[in-house]
Structure 1
Amino acid sequence: MRFSPQRTLATIVLLIATQTALAQAPKTVFLENLTWTEVRDEVAAGKTTIIIPIGGTEQSGPDVALGKHNARVAVLSQRIAQGLGNALVAPIVAYVPEGGYAPPTSHMRFPGTITIPDDVFEKMLESAANSFAVHGFKNIVFLGDHGGYQNDLKHVVAQLNKSWAGTSTRAFVPPEYYGTSSDGFNAILREHGFHDDEIGTHAGLADVSLLLAVAPQMVRLDKLRSGPKPGAADGVYGGDPRRASAELGQQGIDAIVSRTVEAIRKDTAGH
């Protein structure tokens, strides 16, 4: 084989470029994909807002996977952090209050749902927030994708801000996030001619459309389209998801992101 200086030079350049790329910090807003030194440097560079995304593991009818809220809040938190430009995203909280287990109540009546007590849930969130405060984050933002624990989040934020009085750290739970995913998106759907008995309150057209826009693999679409209208016995409350679509859901996703980014910027302005 003949020696080729050009080929050797090209190989060396490729190796250097590869090593340089590997040495750079990953382009991610997800905290768990960073090293501790990368987190330290991001905070020092001004990324002092941390988003704590909260989902849940619960039934959403026979045609939607149990991790609906986790998948949805992952995508939304990422887009919100990217829109803010000064935020990172904490690991998703997937264990949340979902009812009792002795006897089973609420979503716990359906196999696969996981629940924890409200006080345990609140203490976990407080501990996470205090951890981030220790590491230099100034704005601790809770984004809860599920309606059942919204009051818990408000209580946690009030307790944290009371304990942080006199410091430069604050906790927030922007109402625009959950408000847009429910009432705000419902208003968009009504503009398209859908009625409340189809939109629903849980696992109906609104809920499933949002999921189709971010994680369509979690919806058993063929079964959903061909099956009869599901009801409360199936875990679908007050709605009919059979005409759900990613196109409708994307309008809701865009609204949630834009309104939440605007709200967080307003809440944290000058802080």
Structure 2
Amino acid sequence: MDLTTATWTDVRDLETDLAIVPVGSTEQHGPHAPLGTDVLTAEAIADAGIERVDREVVRAPAIPVGIAEEHRQFPGTMWVSEDTFRDYVGEAVASLAHHGFDRVVLVNGHGGNVDALREVGGRLTRAGDAYVVPFTWFAAVGEHSDDMGHGGPLETGLLRHLEPALIREDRIEAARAGGADGWGEWTSYVNMAYDAAEFTENGVVGDPDDGDAKRGEELFEGAADALARLLEAVAERDVSRPERR
């Protein structure tokens, strides 16, 4: 059930404790892909995962702004601090738990959110407020995960499958020309760069043309199937905390 279109009485009558919260970011994705890429992909995969399970799942509205200050040199990018993000996500989940939806999967579309979401999940779970686990779609697509860049083949391919009109195909060559091969500037296993603009002229990392619609469909199906398996596991899990050893 989508909370955006449901009434409170609809929600009152539900018999489930399982919820999904899509989490993304509003940030540059090169000259060819939309600022809302991370939100659009997280929402689409969340919805597809729900469709694949034979149980009621509450679908919360997406959280559209995340930890993205590393893209601040590119106009249109929005961000909040890590503390604000953790607090906001945590309190949003706590409000779901207040109504009995205390098994929550955070479906994430942005790499900058990963560490904070893991911290939020651990904190709420250990406190007994809810059982919360983060799921990042591009970490769940097998060997494709190795090609994850930024506005690169995975995100471009997925959007070519989901929302092809949003990809500015006439800018793909420019995206390739001004992009970087990898994320960061590495010396002695240390990334010396803090902002994306230090190593990519136009915000792109990876070759977007390596992600066609066919690959996007494969990514979508793989991520949605993985999410469905996770939802089933979360629904069936014993979430009581272990005793002190």
TM-score, L = length of structure 2: 0.82
Unmatched segments (≥5 aa) in structure 2: 180-199, 239-245
Match of 2:39 in 1: 70
CA deviations on 1:27-69 (whole Å, 9 max, x unpaired) are xx32111001011112xxx332110100100101001110011
Whether 1:185 aligns to 2:144 is: yes
CA contact (8 A) 1:76 1:253 kept: yes
In the TM superposition, residue 226 of structure 1 has moved relative to its aligned partner by 7.8
User: Which of 95, 98, 110 is the matching residue for 2:65?
Assistant: 95
Q: Which residues in structure 2 correspond to 1:6-155 (within 5 Å)?
A: 29-42=1-14, 46-84=15-53, 85-99=55-69, 106-155=70-119
Unmatched segments (≥5 aa) in structure 1: 1-28, 100-105, 188-198
Match of 1:3 in 2: none
TM-score, L = length of structure 1: 0.74
Give the 3-state SS of the residue equivalent to 1:171 in structure 2: strand
- Distance in 1 between residues matched to 2:94 and 2:10, nearest whole Å: 20
User: Which of 201, 206, 226 is the matching residue for 1:233?
Assistant: 201
Q: 1:184 to 1:243 in 2, by over 3 A?
A: closer
Give the 3-state SS of the residue equivalent to 1:233 in structure 2: coil
* Structure having greater relative contact order (Cα 8 Å, sep ≥ 6): 2
Paired residue total: 217
Any runs of at least 4 consecutive aligned residues in structure 1 with deviations exceeding 4 A, and if so which? 225-228
Task: Find the structure with the greater CA-based Rg.
Answer: 1
- Distance in 2 between residues matched to 1:178 and 1:61, nearest whole Å: 18
Percent of residue pairs bearing the same amino acid type: 25
User: Which of 116, 126, 134 is the matching residue for 1:173?
Assistant: 134
Q: 1:121 to 1:222 in 2, by over 3 A?
A: same
